[in-house]
Chain A
Amino acid sequence: MGLKVPYVTSYLTEHCAEDDYVSLAGYEAKGGYRAAKKALGMAPQEVINLVKESGLQGRGGAGFSTGMKWSFMPQDSDRPKYLVCNADESEPGSFKDRLLLERTPHKMLEGILIAAWATGAEKTFIYVRGEYAFPADVVQRAIDEAYEKGILGPRCMGKSFAHDVVLMRGAGAYICGEETGLLESLEGKKGQPRKKPPFPAQYGAFGMPSTVNNVETFCHVPHIVDQGADWFRGFGTEKSPGTTLFGVSGHVVRPGLYELPLGTPLDEIIFEHAGGIPGGRKVKGVIPGGMSMPVLPAGQLDVPMANEYLRERQSMLGTGGIMVMDETTCMVRASCIITYFFRDESCGQCTQCREGTGWLNKIVNRLERGAGSEKDIDILVDVAGKMEGQTICAFADAAAWPVQGMIRHFRGDFEEHVRQQKCPFSGSFEL
């Protein structure tokens, strides 16, 4: 079938264009499961230390240290421990995990096996978003192959270590990508994030100690084990080592996935790798890390794509989904879409999130219709501020930040709607 993306590869996606790499034999032919074999010969704590030393940060959006997360799993617990692979990729603008699931499922399984050994987990649940029907089939085939060859099962790779992997499919709710919302859904309940504490390492899937990691996070692990922490730190920045998959979409000549070191400047990704803006138009704003991350204006595209730099610009790397909007874009319209998404996807538990997401969306819609006032813009800022940092999970933050970012950098667009009593961007996309 062949693969058109990505345009730039590194260690994660090196063989992703090769069809036989999907199979166990193809994967092993390129050195697959070598790292797992090595890891299973190490002490679990050694593996955790190695991952800690590598500085690997979770690639699901929050960017938390993976090794640290693993070390939270209780050492001497008589309760079963679980791993959960978060393959519920649902952040608008993100499509990196899909490639990994479809093209290198065994790399993910190898990462899972290493993590299982390190944390003493007896089972992994892979939670695949409902819409990813094809990726789910690919992963299931890979799991079956791994069982057949004894890589998974009662004696993983011939060792006296048992590990099972179970694939579960979601039903299409964004909030089930939040780790505790995912756990609820995994248990067959309505996907609503849990109060923390207790954290998943104490009370996770089915009440057992659990660690939830993103697909891409698992995929980095075999490379770290195989080639070492120093090698891994050779990519990216000091604080954010390794490569990541940047998914570039929107107004660019070559939308797609680009595996680049963390810290690659945003303008380099957009203009060199993704071919710049079509039709010679200018960039207006870029959402750097999936829709929940605050937008950056054209003047800030020199930012290195790593959390330590993006935070200085009041944004974050998120899932690395870069959404480029050119000068024809109406930022109020873009805000309509963003706020509608969060209004639709809020689980509805917490007052601020349930009511705030709806209110933001209603105000933005009114502004776009030309029926808003200057005061509405201030209300948007105020309501977003009241949603932030006060809820069970980070969803309310994710809904508030983009609105704050839009007004921070594009208040002029909003004011122009008020002044003209209509949308001044006739050429912008249709709502």
Chain B
Amino acid sequence: MPTITVDGVQYEVEEGRTILQALDDLGLLMNGVDVPHYCWHPKLSIDGSCRLCQVEVEGMPKLQIACDTRVSDGMVIHTTTDRVKSAREGVMELLLVNHPLDCPICDQAGECKLQDYAYEYGALQARTVEPRRALKKKVDLGPTIVFDQERCILCRRCTRFCSEIPATGELGIFARGDHSVIETFPGMELDNPYSMNVADICPVGALTTKDFRFKIRVWFLEDVPGICTGCSNGCNIFLGVANNKVQRYVPRRNDSVNDTWICDAGRMSYQEIDSPSRVKASLVRGEDGVLEARPYAAAVEAAAARLRRLVESKGPGVIAGVASAHLTNEDLAVLKRFLEALPTESAGLPVPRGEADALLVKEEKAANAAGARALGFEDAAPLVERIRGGGVDGIVMLGHDLLDPAYLGGIEALQKLDTVIWIDTHQSDLRHVAHVVLPGRHAAEKRGTLTNHAGRVQHLQPAVEPTFEAHAEGETLERIGRALGLTGFGGDPAAGSPTASSRK
């Protein structure tokens, strides 16, 4: 392995890498060694056009661009010399010659690389008196993205992204020189399952998502690391939180899972957190057959009472548990323990399925199907047969995936059941058959782990607190188990549970 010296410190680096790649491999980039760059992106081809990453390499008379200069053994690199600084200042000044400097109304302000580097390498006073280029401020590129041509610094990350990652190639650079602009090719719009990533990789405020545009200033956001729950890939994300509300998802780099991308569907799934369809109240069906709001504790008691009556009349074997592939391993472990303590062997795991692609999107549309299987939950198809055949009288239902066409396909088969205890985050037809409804917590609202399709166990932490009383599903099961007097369910449900939900 070649050894290089960067600003006086020696590093062993991989053969064949460029200076920027080597620094990135070492985790040093922007984290000890500051080599500013615009066009270079770790997951895109090397462009070498912004010319900002120039560094001094001993033995080379001209400054070299770090993004495209291959390391060699004994290479001595300087990133902080006056020559380097002066080159950066030169590039920054030129990039700002035509930039509109409309930061006060720009969404990128606060997370803008043009702002950051201008702050570091920009002149205090502009030397330009000429009018800046006037271009289109609001180009509708497609269903998800709006483009401000004036802010664009033509780093060409977006065009390379479209050609190289989804390989849809919607974007191109038209015309030449300082009149060149990025546009969609004639007859095309920027419309692919990953389109919104262009807003993340745009170093300036030129590409913004219609979803997040003008929503909130980014400096009010707290970036909480989390996992996207849209499918079993488990893409790493930051949840942008303000006012106890998730305002957006953006990808969090993990080269083993999602590189620096997430799909648009996953990105937009943050809307499920603060959705009007959340199950917000604990409900118990009264004698008159109508669901009534009850305090959470009373609903837990009501659930326990119904289950106790069933155990006493027909035995625990008629009770089935339905696991949810959306839950954490910790929630599912409590369910497993609950079913074993009843005891009943009747259980199943419905997994919602959909389209997959070659990039990130997986067929299983739940974040923890692999974790649920690892805990011993098997596919719900046999359980569906048992329900249809009348072998089940009571059910503890987590989530509503059993209603999927691949399983029950509706609530009909559940209508004749004696007891349906339903714990879920979102509304479904189950409210027509449930006897007790208990709110659950979204992955953004609890602590725990999820196991992705490849068996990678990833942590969740609460990013927001529900505005209604809801407890992690495992915690609710602990409470029902304690009310039932099940073995092993004696303790404080919140204290011992890894799903305890308070944020701080």
Chain A interfacial positions (CB closer than 8 Å to B): 173, 175, 190, 195, 343-359, 362-363, 366, 375, 379, 383, 386, 389-392
Contacts and interface: CB of A to CB of B under 8 A. Distances in A.
Nearest to A389: B62
Contact of B97 (A195, A359, A390): A359
A195 B130 contact: no
B177 interface: yes
A356 B94 contact: yes
Contacts of A383: 94
Contact of B177 (A190, A195, A345, A391): A345
Given A195-B68, A359-B128, A351 B173 contact: no
Interface string B96-109: 01100000000000
Contacts of B95: 351, 355
Contacts of B129: 366
B48 interface: yes
A351 B50 contact: yes
B173 A348 contact: yes
Interface of B: 46-52, 54, 62-63, 68, 87, 90-91, 93-95, 97-98, 127-130, 133, 153-154, 156, 173, 175-180
B63 to A, nearest CB: 7
Given A344-B177, A354-B154, A391 B51 contact: yes
A177 to B, nearest CB: 14
Nearest to B130: A362
B121 to A, nearest CB: 13
Contacts of A352: 51, 90-91, 94
A349 B156 CA distance: 9
A343 B94 CA distance: 14
A386 B52 CA distance: 12
A317 B91 CA distance: 30
Given A347-B176, A386-B93, A390-B90, 4 more contacts: A349-B49, A355-B178, A363-B130, A386-B87
B397 to A, nearest CB: 58
B178 A348 contact: yes
The majority secondary structure among interface residues of chain B is loop
A173 B176 contact: yes
Nearest to B89: A386
B169 to A, nearest CB: 13
Nearest to B46: A195
A233 B444 CA distance: 80
A390 B180 CA distance: 20
B51 A355 contact: no
Contacts of B50: 350-351
A348 B98 contact: no
A354 B178 contact: yes
A348 B51 contact: no
A389 B153 CA distance: 21
B51 A358 contact: no
Which of B46, B63, B178 counts the most A-chain CB atoms under 10 A from its CB?
B178
Contacts of A359: 94, 97, 128, 130
Given A351-B49, A363-B130, A346 B94 contact: no
B49 A355 contact: no
A351 B130 contact: no
Given A345-B177, A351-B50, A354-B178, A379 B127 contact: yes
A357 B176 contact: no
Contacts of B68: 195
Q: 5 shortest A-B CB distances, which residue pairs?
A: A358-B178, A386-B90, A346-B177, A355-B94, A348-B180
Contact of B154 (A173, A345, A348): A348
Contacts of B87: 386, 390
A173 B48 CA distance: 21
B63 A390 contact: yes
A296 to B, nearest CB: 26
A112 to B, nearest CB: 30
Given A195-B48, A390-B51, A392-B49, A351 B98 contact: no
A229 B156 CA distance: 48
B178 A350 contact: no
A60 B272 CA distance: 63
A395 to B, nearest CB: 10
Looking at B48, B87, B91, B94, the one whose CB has the most chain A CB atoms below 10 A away is: B94
Given A195-B68, A348-B173, A351-B94, A357 B52 contact: no
5 contacts: A348-B178, A349-B156, A351-B94, A353-B177, A358-B98
A190 B173 contact: yes
A357 B178 CA distance: 8
Given A356-B94, A358-B98, A390-B63, A348 B176 contact: yes
A362 B94 CA distance: 13
A347 B62 CA distance: 22
A195 B51 CA distance: 12
Contacts of B94: 351-352, 354-356, 359, 383, 386
Contacts of B154: 348, 351, 354
A344 B179 CA distance: 8
A79 to B, nearest CB: 21
Nearest to B129: A366
B51 A343 contact: no
Nearest to A342: B177
Most B CB atoms within 10 A — which of A348, A375, A391?
A348
Contacts of B98: 355, 358
A392 B48 contact: yes
